[in-house]
Structure 1
Amino acid sequence: MYRVLIVDDEPNILTALRRNLSNIPPSMLDGERLELIPANSPEDALQLAVAENFDLVIADLRMPGISGVDLLAEIAARQPYVARILMSGYADLEAIITAVNQARIFRFIPKPWNDNDLRMAVVQALHYRAILLENQRLADLVRAQRGQLERQDAELRRLEMEHPGLTRLERDESGAIFIDEDDL
């Protein structure tokens, strides 16, 4: 189940978002469903983000107290792999640029939104997050394997120092391994 935090200070917007997003079929989310958690204020959203993990946060740009950009940046600092979508009814280019640079949002959605565009943005954001998590898992695996190879290489060097020639093979002209009977 994907956990989506929706933050807006207008209750009717929260209701409309929940209604719209609840129409995303699980088939578009790899069989998963959405758990939609509303927050009426940025402060409530921060309290939730401290206590719980989310896959996606959708926040309004202009809210009392804390802006949507600052909220998303704060949540991202606590949950680096959370996907972030910012919404606004104002065409404030500077705020959008700040949101991209500071909060590293996945998408900006203007209000009023197109229902299909919003649903697709949510699906794409969740898929993007899954790719980021898989990349992190693979990077961790590569680091672990690199460490294991370094330990094995150090052991081979140690054995080679104790027993010179142990790790080298001699081959004849045909490529067959040459065994010196004196070494047996």
Structure 2
Amino acid sequence: MAERILIVDDEPGILHALQRLLRHGLSAPDGSRYQVDECANGALALEQARRHVYALAISDYRMPEMNGVDFLTALRTLQPDCERIILSGYADLNALVRAVNEAGIARFIAKPWADFELLSAVRQVLQVRDLVIENRRLADLVRLQQGQISAQEAELRRLERLEPGITHVNWADDGSFILEDPGDVKL
């Protein structure tokens, strides 16, 4: 299954340019192409993030209704392993500090971008993400072998990495569990 990248920008031309660049200029370690999803605003992008797991999200900073930092901060809560990049034509130091501190961005890329530099930054961010996830998996394996965690806990952690939120269950007062339609969840 191809990993996914989410791009968010309120300018259709930017979305299409990024999608074309990422689809044709970037390949996963196994040689496959990333699936690139595009959204015109943060609210739609969060809906997508409730349905799909993303390796990376690239968001414009200045957008109507929800700016890029607010979107990426909410995405960080939904999918902590999804790396985050801000793309902006405005060099606002306060926005950059907020993006680093609140959204935990991996990179800030200025518009207009150079294709080579953007692709290099994306590759580096994705490589670091893969290493962090692999380190976590290996650390869990060592903890399991040393008896520090149970096989069940190791499996729950593995499943949570694959599908963020899958191990969280909402219980009703009568002991039954509550199934929610992802479209019904509000922020």
Give TM-score scaled by structure 2 length: 0.75
**2:18 maps to what in 1?**
17
- Equivalent-residue separation in structure 2 for 1:25 and 1:43 (angstroms): 26
Which secondary structure state, in structure 1, belongs to the residue aligned with residue 7 of structure 2?
strand
Using the aligned pairs only, state the percent identity: 48
**1:179 maps to what in 2?**
none
Answering whether residue 129 of structure 2 is matched by residue 129 of structure 1, we say yes
Which secondary structure state, in structure 1, belongs to the residue aligned with residue 87 of structure 2?
strand
5 Å-filtered alignment, 1:19-34, equals: 19-26=20-27, 29-34=29-34
Q: CA deviation at 1:65?
A: 1.1
Q: CA deviation at 1:32?
A: 2.6
Q: CA deviation at 1:148?
A: 6.5
Q: CA deviation at 1:29?
A: 3.6
Q: CA deviation at 1:30?
A: 4.0
Q: Deviations over 1:145-179 (max 9, x none)?
A: 22169xxxxxxxxxxxxxxxxxxxxxxxxxxxxxx
5 Å-filtered alignment, 1:1-184, equals: 1-26=2-27, 29-147=29-147
Deviation beyond 6 Å, 4+ runs, structure 1: none
Q: Deviations over 1:116-153 (max 9, x none)?
A: 0111111111111101110110121122122169xxxx
- Equivalent-residue separation in structure 1 for 2:81 and 2:112 (angstroms): 27
Q: Deviations over 1:11-36 (max 9, x none)?
A: 0110111122123253x744131111
- Give the unaligned 5+ runs of structure 1: 150-184
Structure 2 vs 1, CA of residues 92 and 141 (structure 1 numbering), >3 Å: closer, same or farther? same
Q: CA deviation at 1:70?
A: 1.2
On the 8 A contact 1:8/1:59 being kept in 2, the answer is yes
Q: Which amino acid aligns with 1:15?
A: H
- Equivalent-residue separation in structure 1 for 2:22 and 2:81 (angstroms): 21
- Equivalent-residue separation in structure 2 for 1:136 and 1:125 (angstroms): 17
Q: CA deviation at 1:66?
A: 1.1
Q: Between Structure 1 and Structure 2, how many residues are aligned? A: 148
On the 8 A contact 1:29/1:123 being kept in 2, the answer is no
- Equivalent-residue separation in structure 1 for 2:130 and 2:100 (angstroms): 20
- Give the unaligned 5+ runs of structure 2: 150-187
